[in-house]
């Protein structure tokens, strides 16, 4: 039952820059920074339609900068995806673009294209729903600008083109985005899940364990299980029967854990479950429940009945310092369960300080306590 040791927790810098909300917040800061520079420059003063608009432009750019900075700090402090933050960001951007078009009149007519960039960008980052919201905000914003601005009222053809682009392009992109997101979801499913059981695969599970323990090291439990007598089923009933049995075992595991817990088939007849925010008593009870149901399951194939068992090792994240150590400890506990006579559960308590998992693998049956309910 090998445990990989080459994976590492995702570095914080990588996690931050892989967050699309953070990337958007940085881009927003850069764009608003350029707008502030323009608003306070002589070039901006020369191209402003009036001194009043120039002064208002300064205030608008500063307020937009404050809003962009607050959203950036919010994203930096709370990196988890936030629907509220995304909607506020879209609203902020729409207001800034609309005010720029109103105050800059002909010199800022190009900002109609920025509407489109904002719409498409949110669509690609967050999905078609957010693109729809950005489109609605942009249409509303430009409608208000058109009603209040003599310049835009005096240029109906240009206004029509801007409005048409805001309707036609997002409408076309909506269907394209749905197809792209569906294809992406299918690729992620194939890359991160076992095709036979639908559970997570080894690579995805190991990374999840490493990231979870790295982010919140305490209060989790890992169940590492290996089927007993599975080879007998494969050798006598064939691989099709073995595959069917593995799918049924996956169902047993799933129905005994919560939606928030992570389940995986590591390969062959090995499975593991990461119980999030779970005490060891609950983990031991869950392991015993799974062991009991696997033992009672009967596979009827080709007129013959087959039964298997499972050896389960249980380890707590509180007993180790990182995810790799948790994997090794639970794996060793699974070996210890097999040494107890198979079809048993071995729990490594949080009070135990196991420094050599090799010794744990070799523990004899004598003196071992089965973690039964």
Q: Give the integer Cα–Cα distance in Å for 289 and 132.
A: 47
Structure confidence at residue 96 (pLDDT): 92
CB 222 within 8 A of CB 213: no
Same domain? 80 vs 188: yes
Rounded to an integer, the average pLDDT of 83-91 is: 96
Count of H-run helices and E-run strands, the chain:
15, 7
The answer to the question of residue 265 being in a domain is yes
Q: Which is more confident, 255 or 178?
A: 255
Same domain? 32 vs 145: yes
Same domain? 263 vs 181: no
Domain boundary residue, one of 141, 165, 192: 192
Same domain? 183 vs 229: no
Map 246-278 to HEC letters: HHHHHHHHHHCCCCCCEEEEEECCEEEEEECCC
Same domain? 301 vs 335: yes
- Which element (helix H / strand E) includes 227? strand 221-228
The answer to the question of residue 3 being in a domain is no
The answer to the question of residue 171 being in a domain is yes
Domain boundary residue, one of 171, 192, 213: 192
Same domain? 182 vs 207: no
pLDDT of 9 over the 60 cut: no
The answer to the question of residue 231 being in a domain is yes
CA 54 remoteness from chain centre:
44
Q: How many CA atoms lie within 13 A of 153 on its CB side?
A: 6
pLDDT of 298 over the 80 cut: yes
Same domain? 83 vs 119: yes
pLDDT in tens, 314-340: 999 988 888 899 999 999 999 999 988
Domain count, the chain: 2
Q: Give the integer Cα–Cα distance in Å for 328 and 283.
A: 17
Task: Classify residue 91 by burial, with Cβ atoms within 10 Å: 0-12, 13-18, 19+.
Answer: middle
The candidate with the shortest Cα–Cα distance to 354, out of 370, 332, 338, 324, is 332
- Report the 10 Å Cβ neighbour count for 170: 23
Q: Give the integer Cα–Cα distance in Å for 40 and 315.
A: 61
Q: Give the integer Cα–Cα distance in Å for 172 and 328.
A: 51
The answer to the question of residue 344 being in a domain is yes
The candidate with the shortest Cα–Cα distance to 134, out of 121, 152, 148, is 121
Q: Which is more confident, 3 or 358?
A: 358
The answer to the question of residue 369 being in a domain is no
* CATH number for the domain that contains residue 254: 3.30.70.270
Same domain? 102 vs 177: yes
Round the CA-based radius of gyration of the chain to a whole number and report it: 29
Same domain? 169 vs 278: no
Domain boundary residue, one of 192, 224, 245: 192
Same domain? 131 vs 46: yes
The answer to the question of residue 170 being in a domain is yes
The candidate with the shortest Cα–Cα distance to 217, out of 349, 312, 326, 313, is 326
The answer to the question of residue 227 being in a domain is yes
Same domain? 278 vs 319: yes
Q: What is the distance between the terminal CA atoms of the chain, rounded to a whole angstrom? A: 26
Structure confidence at residue 257 (pLDDT): 96
The mean of the pLDDT values for the chain is 86
CB 263 within 8 A of CB 257: yes
pLDDT in tens, 42-59: 887 887 778 888 888 899
Structure confidence at residue 362 (pLDDT): 56
| Torsion region of 258: left, alpha or beta (phi above 0 gives left; psi -120 to 50 gives alpha) | beta
Same domain? 183 vs 211: no
Q: Give the integer Cα–Cα distance in Å for 312 and 53.
A: 72
Angle between the N-to-C axes of helices 20-39 and 51-77, in degrees from 0 to 180, rounded to the nearest 10: 160
Residue 131 belongs to domain spanning: 12-192
């Amino acid at each position: 039952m090998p445990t990989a040791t080459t994976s590492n927790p995702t570095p914080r810098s990588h996690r931050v820059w892989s967050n699309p909300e953070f990337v958007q917040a940085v881009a927003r800061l850069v764009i608003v920074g350029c707008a502030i520079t323009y608003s306070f420059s002589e070039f901006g003063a020369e191209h402003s339609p009036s001194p009043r608009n120039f002064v208002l432009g300064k205030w608008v750019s500063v307020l937009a900068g404050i809003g962009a900075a607050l959203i950036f700090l919010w994203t930096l402090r709370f990196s988890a995806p936030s629907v509220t933050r995304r909607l506020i960001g879209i609203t902020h951007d729409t207001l800034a673009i609309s005010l720029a078009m109103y105050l800059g009149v002909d010199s800022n007519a190009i900002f109609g294209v920025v509407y489109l960039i904002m719409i498409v960008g949110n669509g690609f980052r967050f999905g078609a729903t957010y693109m729809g919201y950005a489109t609605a905000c942009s249409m509303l914003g430009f409608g208000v600008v058109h009603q209040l601005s003599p310049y835009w009222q005096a240029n109906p053809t240009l206004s029509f083109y801007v409005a048409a682009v805001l309707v036609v392009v997002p409408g076309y992109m909506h269907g394209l985005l749905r197809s792209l997101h569906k294809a992406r979801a299918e690729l992620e499913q194939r890359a991160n899940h076992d095709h036979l059981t639908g559970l997570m695969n080894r690579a995805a599970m190991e990374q999840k364990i490493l990231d979870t323990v790295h982010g919140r090291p305490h209060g989790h439990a890992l169940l590492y299980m290996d089927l007993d007598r599975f080879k007998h089923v494969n050798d006598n009933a064939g691989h099709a029967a073995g595959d069917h049995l593995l799918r049924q075992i996956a169902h047993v595991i799933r129905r005994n854990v919560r939606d928030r817990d992570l389940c995986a088939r590591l390969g062959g007849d090995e499975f593991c479950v990461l119980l999030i925010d779970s005490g060891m008593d609950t983990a031991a009870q869950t392991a015993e429940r799974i062991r009991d149901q696997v033992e009672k399951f009967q596979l009827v194939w080709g007129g013959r009945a087959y039964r298997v068992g499972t050896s389960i090792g249980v380890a707590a994240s509180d007993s180790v310092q990182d995810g790799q150590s948790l994997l090794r400890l639970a794996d060793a506990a699974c070996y210890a369960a097999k040494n107890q006579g198979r079809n048993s559960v071995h729990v490594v308590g949080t009070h135990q300080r196991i420094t050599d998992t090799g010794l744990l693998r070799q523990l004899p049956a004598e003196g071992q306590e089965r973690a039964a309910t």
